[in-house]
Structures are given as C-alpha cells and as structure tokens.
Amino acid sequence: MAEENEQMEVQPPANKVASAKNPLLTILVILNTVVLGAVGYFQYMSHQKLANTPSIRDVVKAEMKKSAGGGDEAALEETGQAQVEDGKLFPLDGFTANLAQGDGPRRFLRLNTVLKFSESSNEEEFKRRKAQIRDSIITTLNGKRPEDLLTVQGKNFLKEEIKASINSFLVDGHVIDVFLVSFQIN
C-alpha cells in the first residue's frame, strides 16, 4: 500500500497538467481579443471617414452656387427642388410626318408643338432657325414607331429628344420645354 500512496502522490492531477503544459488556449484568447480590437478600430475609422464625406445634396448645392453665383440657392434649400424657369413661348406650325415602318400599314403623325425658350434667349435666332428646328423635329419623328409614342413615357422621351436635338445647334439660347399641343397618330 505504501507503494500505491507514493504513486498517487507523484502524479499531479490531469487538469493541472493540460493547462500548465499547453498555453495554447490562453494565447488564442489574447490573439482573439487583439484582432477584435483591431477590427473595431478600423470600423470606427471607416465610419468617421464616411461621415466626413460630403453628400450629393451638398455637392449639387456647391456646384449650383458656383455656376449661378448663388442666386437660386435659397429656393433650392427651402424646397429641395429646382425652380421652374420662366421663358418665352414659340409656337410652331403643325407637322405631318411619316413614322418608322413596322409590321402593318404605313402610319403618320400629326403634331402641333410650342417650344419654351429661356428668358435670356434671342428671339431672332429662333425665327432665323425655324426651318432647322422643324427639320430636326421631323427627323426625330421619322425614327419613331407608333408603339413608341402611344405611352406617356414615350411622349416624354420624344419631348426630351426634341429638346436635345434643338439645343445642339442653338447659340444664344436653349429650349427649356416642349409642349405637345395636339398629337394624332393615323
């Protein structure tokens, strides 16, 4: 029995042997804490950088102020929308234009338009370029199919195309809006 007591006293408990010989668990806990702290720090720095970048609204306000001299900034700040620009109306004679050929019979469009030019525009330029304006509108209409023009989105897209084509050759002014006074597809 004495030999058994000596063997029991010599052997340390199993729990103390594993933790004393293997500090891997302690190292992993410390390493995990350091990595978590580093991730938290970088997240905080990223958030601070994002908070300091200007928003789209700030950039647009600055650009409008720079280009317009700050005149309409108060109106933009109050409503968040651009103000409607006043302009001169310029009615055009009626148009009859062939539409693009699709499946089925030939179709044509009868259209009366009124153009709204900027207030600072020279009205004489519009009168001199009336033939060029009419030609660009007819050319735009000739490329359209009837299906494209029957929807509201199609008509709005047509207005934008007409406006862009006319503004491409004007020197002293620009078209603000295009009004379709009468619109008939046959």
Q: What is the pLDDT of residues 71-90, one digit of tens each?
A: 444 444 555 555 556 788 88
**How many other C-beta atoms lie within 10 A of the C-beta of residue 64?**
16
Local structure of 102: helix, strand or coil: coil
State the Rg of the chain over Cα.
Answer: 38
Residues 51, 83: Cα–Cα separation, whole Å: 29
CB-CB contact of 76 with 64 (8 Å): yes
Q: First vs last Cα of the chain: how many Å apart?
A: 118
Residues 111, 97: Cα–Cα separation, whole Å: 8
Across all residues in the chain, what is the average pLDDT? 80
**How many other C-beta atoms lie within 10 A of the C-beta of residue 119?**
11
Whole-number pLDDT of residue 126 = 86
Whole-number pLDDT of residue 73 = 45
Query: pTM of the prediction?
Result: 0.53
